[in-house]
Structure 1
Amino acid sequence: MQDAFFKLDPRDGFAVTAADYLSDFDRQVLTYLYQPLMGTGAYSLYLLLWTQPTTVQVQPHSALLALLNVDLPTLYDSRIRLEALGLVKTYQQVTAAGRTFTYELYAPQAPTAFFTDDLLSLLLYDAVGEDRFDQMKAQFQLHPVKASAGWEEVSLSFLDVFHVNSQLLAQPPATIAEAKSTFQTTTQANQPQLDQRATADFDWPFFKQQLQASFVSVRELDHYHDQLLTLHALYGLTELELARYVNESIDLNTNKLDWSALKRLVARQPTKVAPTTAPAATNEATATTTTQTDLSKNDQQLIAVSRQLAPVTFLTQLKQQQGGYVTDSEQRVLERLTSRHVFADPSIINILSHYVISVRKMPTLTQAYVDGVANGWLQHHVTTPEAAMKEVKSFYRQKQAPKRNSRTKQPLRKETLPDWAKDGYQAPKQKVTAAQRAAVQKRLAALQDNKDGE
């Protein structure tokens, strides 16, 4: 988070405004549904901004740092998490007096929208587990009265109770019209949106045109806009293919898109080679980059294949070569990485999959390891598959480099064998005197006397 010191300074001013009305129920949704996703730091920052006066009063960020008792990188990380979840929009203004930020607060999505949002519900599921997820789903589930259960509604309507002047209703006063114009706002989506990089090769109006004769509404398609584009990027689907799958996944009883059925249908389809849409200029830049990085022929072939296959297709073929298969959790890992659109070129995701499965010899893609590699590549400004391959090679050059021994080599001590241990040793001959011979004879006689006396 070294970028935090360049993008934020404690002396920078900030002001707070609100785009939505925030209620106590919003606080409950924020605590139970959003807090597991954003963490305690971002949760505390949102609540603190909530309590700030929504005026033009400008304060330094050092006030936030002191109230939260955190450092600048932590504050910046908390802010971008709120931005990613659609809870805060940040606006910047630079003048001669300095830099000022305005934080516009948005209410969390209602539980009905949260649990039908594939990205948010999937993140919550991964964060808290299946049991806790089911508990929170039951906690926020509504239980309306069903007329078919023998209950009859006897509620009175508005005009049954209140009487309104018909003339005023036909011609409202100017003040009423002014108030209506003031408070009439356009609906804004709070959920994270895919940027233009992920949608450059997908014609959304043409896609919707293919579904005009179907039962699904345009509003329903717009609601699943980001998720549909994620499927396109993940599986390499064209507009016509995705429209066909959507048409087969519509619930005819409700005319709603069954998102779970759509995902299962797409996942069951045989993998295919996605058409290459890179222009000639891109190919020339790729060739130049390849020359600069001195990639081998095998590396160039791998990059060419990674540009032609969608991430799920690439991983499927990679696992099949090794006798394995793509698990549901691996599909979720790729889906999450694609939906975050951290890499503009999907072929980088393919190089990452090859690195984990074929180079590191890991049986499956895991979320923690993939996030670690992706973060490392982002910090090294990896924007092309050639740069990703260079990162892999650089890592292994460091691993294979001989390590210097920090210890100073001590001279080996040469052991010298004693003379008696050497081959062919003969004891030196010594002359025996008459006195020594007499002493030996005397001792032998004494030993003989002791033996006879026993």
Structure 2
Amino acid sequence: MNQRMKHLLPNDQCVIMKRTAFFEDANTVLTLLYQPLIGMKSVALYQALWRENGARSSQTAFSHHHLMGILNMSLDEIYEARQKLEGIGLLKTFKQDETYRTYYYVLRKPLSSYQFFENPTLTILLEHHIGKEAHQTLKQQLAPSQQLNQAIDDVTAHFDDVFTTVKHLRQPAKKTNEESIVMSSDLPLEWLYKMLTQQQIEPKQILTKSNLNYMERVSKIYDVDYLELEKALLWAINEEMSFDRQEFLDMCKDIYYNKHGSVPPRLYAKQDIEAANNEAQQVEANHSAQPSKAESKQNKLIQHFNTITHRELLEDYAASGLASMKEVDMLTNVMEEHGLNQPVMNVLVHYVLNKNGNKLNRNYIETIAAHWSREGIESAQQAIELAKQEHKLYQTWQQKKQRQGSKQSNSKKSSEVIPKWFKEQKQKKQSEDQSNNQQEAETQDEDLAAFFKSFSQPKQ
């Protein structure tokens, strides 16, 4: 949640853009192919953004509160779903910071069903998520393959064979095989070239653009390092000295299962894994040294103050999730005037809100800010410790300011001109109240005397 609060708040605005037309089977692909990988919430968010883009005019902004309402999802869930869409390649996000923070969500076109099954990363992961049989069924339904007989020759004319842009033709340049053009890659290309040359294998025939792309994606999925990659690559070269993708895939699977056991690779959110690792480390640390509950709570509070702004702090206190921009500007000015950093200012705002009935008094805030500036407070922990030590002093300052405020209100009252008839009416009412109280007291005395007298009479 802390990570989300740093990057996304309910009143942040968003604008949805769609630059290209989608394929006709986009909804089917999203539901049947993407959803097993990224989950229902991510697909629901994508479809909601898609609908909002169609229903609104271009560049029309709205808040994330609206998304929370129509999706019935918390902002943390929306943020996590958005990150998955970004990671899978369905969304690009841009941010603009002004009076209100605005996010521009650019919807990216989902792959067609054919493109999806041709993508080695997505089709391999989908098979691990839903099983080989279900994967084959979907592939046959959504992307049926129609293979031509191998004896049939491809005689399709290329663009350069039919068209030209100049009237006087020159001698045609020697054609190059596009598959032999090596593009940039994260793989160690120089080392792979050298290794294949030593094995008396022609590198250009193996390390083509499409083969390198396939090797890079599959090696990432199955956690294959460079030494293991050499073994898988040599295994995948068949007798015709060509690259067999199925053999390469099978060898990468064997490498993965030997390293990680029988659990197949799947898409996991890095944030969840990091949180689980941090929790495990925290448990180990607690076994070695158990801090007190107060210290643990203070450490969490300090960490919170170090990762948010005073605007986000005010939004946390507000039931609506919205902060007053007037208060935000006031706090920003105080922070800049007295040279306080953000964590220290967060502690100051937290202290004043808790001790002053959730009210922000500028004079009171400036008094404490000036004090902390003179003391050279530079961290949230120092600010908390000083606030504890000087709590009585701050209470005295607050009471003094309250007395000054009450004196000013009394002086205003005394300066007011009260009509004579109002004074006479007030005196008359006071005298009537006194006479009524006296009569009630006499009646109560008589009743009490009669009560005791009944006990004093002898029984007959």
TM range (shorter): 0.3 to 0.5
Relative to the length of structure 1, the TM-score reads: 0.47
* TM-score where L is the length of structure 2: 0.47
Q: Which has the higher helix share?
A: 2
